Each structure stands twice: as structure tokens, then as C-alpha cells.
Amino acid sequence: MYRKSIATYLCAITLFTSISCFTGCSSSDRIILRGAVQFDESHSFARTLRHFEAKVAEYYGQPIEFELYLNSELGLEKDYFAYMSQGISVDYGIVSPSHMSTFSKAAPLMDVPFLFRDTEHWNQVLESDALEPIEADVEEQADVRIIGYAGGGTRHLIVNRPVRNMDELEDLDIRVMGAPIQTRIFQAITAAPTVIAYSEIYNAIQTGVIDAAENEAAGIQQMKFYEVGPEISLTAHTITVRPIAFSGKTFRRLPEDLQAAILKAGKEAGRFGRELESTEDSTILAKMEEDGKLNTHEFVEREELLRRAEPVLTEYAREIGTEDVLARIRAIR
């Protein structure tokens, strides 16, 4: 794994240094901005970045070129963020908040369960200035600007039996991600969380090691989790936030009118990405249910989930120094 990361890094360095005209050229040269995404053109992240490119070109109104590297050609999101921080190889991309945590302790708050009351609250937060302190911390610590917010996948429970209320949720053996806050949150709502590798979820449910996992519709479809966990409990415990990031070092080398175009396009691309992903997410889930692959169940005590998670989120925010951000988020109605 270490050798692979080094190889990816060296490949990106080679790619960067081999290109004769790079971002920040003088006005007589071409301006080329380079993005990266782990997926192909059909994925919502790639489509969101294409929308960003089109809007930048529209608002800038002068010659500019974009190169978007697809299918993890330059590595993974954590690599893109490191490259943006260093001002090499990647100028813009969509990066999960968890991959910013090496630089910013505050960033992972954006991705914790039960942060948002519902989709409307999530969208209102992302349209507000509530996350500005996190943006400032990311910029200070990593020299990467957050210029917009995509995301919109809603994560639910994937279970081998119906779970519709607190009684049915109690002691549910569920796979969670490795971040300690995930374990703490699911313990607080009375489940029995276990950290298991993502690639092992299917077999773990199939063999009875666990009874459940959690994911959004695209993951359920791609990994065929519905085959072993066909009962989907609509807890909506996480609504994803996927920041559109731009290298600070690159940004400062650009003309002021292009900087303004990038900031305006970033916000618009974020709105585009949120609408795209949230719509596709619900469509995918509905189609799988229509095809008889899974059944959805309303979780009738969701307010109780929020109540039990609240003190855990409060303590976590205190630990990472984001009490003010959490208060801003909770204040939005």
C-alpha cells in the first residue's frame, strides 16, 4: 500500500513537470486548470465538475482550458487533496471531509451522522455561512479553498430483517466505518456497531457475522447489498456533504477576474451537484424497490434517534473545537 501511494505520487509529479504550460502562466500563455475524480463521466461527481468547468468558462469569458482526469488516474481523493495543498498536479476536485482530516480536525464534522434534521435543513445549512469557520480552518491548515458543496446521498440502514422502531433497533449488529465517532453515535442509538472493511460487508451479513450495514442508494446498488440485506430502514442518519475544493496556491496565481469566476462557479456547481445526487439517490432506491430487490420501511421514531445522538455530537464538536459551527447548524430552521 505504501509503495503504491509513493508510485501514485511520483506519477503525478512526473505528469505535472512534463507539461510545458501549467496553471499560472503569464497572460500570453494558455491557462490550464486540472481536475481529478475517482469515477467515470457518468458519475455525479464528474458531471458536477464538468458543470463547474462550463460555468468558469462562461463567467471568465476568455480562453481557458480544463483537463479532468477520470477513474482514479491520479490516485484517490486523499491524494487529490494533498496535491491541491502542495499546488501540484490537481487544481480542483470533490473531496470527502474525512480526507481533509489530516490537515483539519474540524472538517470531519461535516460528515457525522444525525448532523442534519432532514434534507431541507441540510440544504439550508449548505446555502448559509454556517460552515465558514471550517472553510477557514481548511484554508489555513491545508491551503485549499472550499468553493462549493455537492453531495446529497442519504444513508439508511441495510438490514436482513425489518427495523422500524427503537425496539427493533436495539442491539442490532451493524457494520460502521472506522472513525470512532461512528461507533459512538450508533452505540448512543442502542445499536451494536462493529468496524468491518467495506469489501467484507456482503459476506459478513450473508454469514451472520453482522445483521446490518449502512449506505446510500448508489452503494446498495453497486455492491448488491440488497441481496443479503433487503430490508432498508429509512433512518436518513447521514446526508452527505462533498466539498468542491480548489488549490490555494493555484488560486493566487490566477487573474482576479478568473478568481471571481471560480468562486461564483463553485457555488453554482455545488447546487447543481446536490440536486443531481439527491435526485438520483431517491430514484435509484425507488427503482430497486419497484424491481422487487428490496423493501423500504419508515423508521417511525426518528426524532428519538436525533435526541439520543445530540449529546454525542455536542461532545464530539467540543473535542475538535467546532462547538460554534455545530451551534450555527442547529440554529438554522
Percent of the chain with pLDDT over 70: 92
Q: How many residues does the chain have?
A: 333
Category of 173 on φ-ψ map: left (φ > 0), alpha (ψ -120 to 50) or beta: beta
CA distances from 205 to 45, 192, 200, 215, 299 (A): 29, 14, 9, 14, 21
What pLDDT was estimated at residue 245?
Answer: 98
Q: How many CB atoms lie under 10 A from the CB of residue 13?
A: 14
With 50 as the cut, is the pLDDT of residue 278 above it?
yes
Q: Are strands 212-215 and 92-94 parallel, antiparallel or unpaired?
A: unpaired
* 223-271 pLDDT tens trace: 999 999 999 999 999 999 999 999 999 999 999 999 999 999 999 999 9
Q: Is the CB of residue 129 less than 8 Å from the CB of residue 264? A: no
Angstrom distances, CA of residue 261 to CA of 85, 94, 151, 251, 274:
21, 18, 22, 11, 20
As a whole number of angstroms, the distance between CA 81 and CA 79 comes to 5
> pLDDT category, 30, cuts 50, 70, 90?
confident
Question: What's the pLDDT at 91?
Answer: 98
Average pLDDT score over residue span 13-37: 62
**Structural domains of the chain ordered from first start:** 2-152+241-281 (3.40.190.170), 156-238+283-328 (3.40.190.170)
pLDDT, position 298: 98
- Check if the beta carbon of residue 162 is closer than 8 Å to that of residue 231: yes
pTM reported for the whole predicted model: 0.87
Please, what is the average pLDDT of the chain?
92
pLDDT at 4 over 50: no
pLDDT at 23: 53
Q: What is the mean pLDDT of residues 140-151?
A: 98
- Classify residue 291 as left (phi > 0), alpha (psi -120 to 50) or beta: alpha
75-132 pLDDT, tens digit per residue, is 999 999 999 999 999 999 999 998 999 999 999 999 999 999 999 999 999 999 999 9
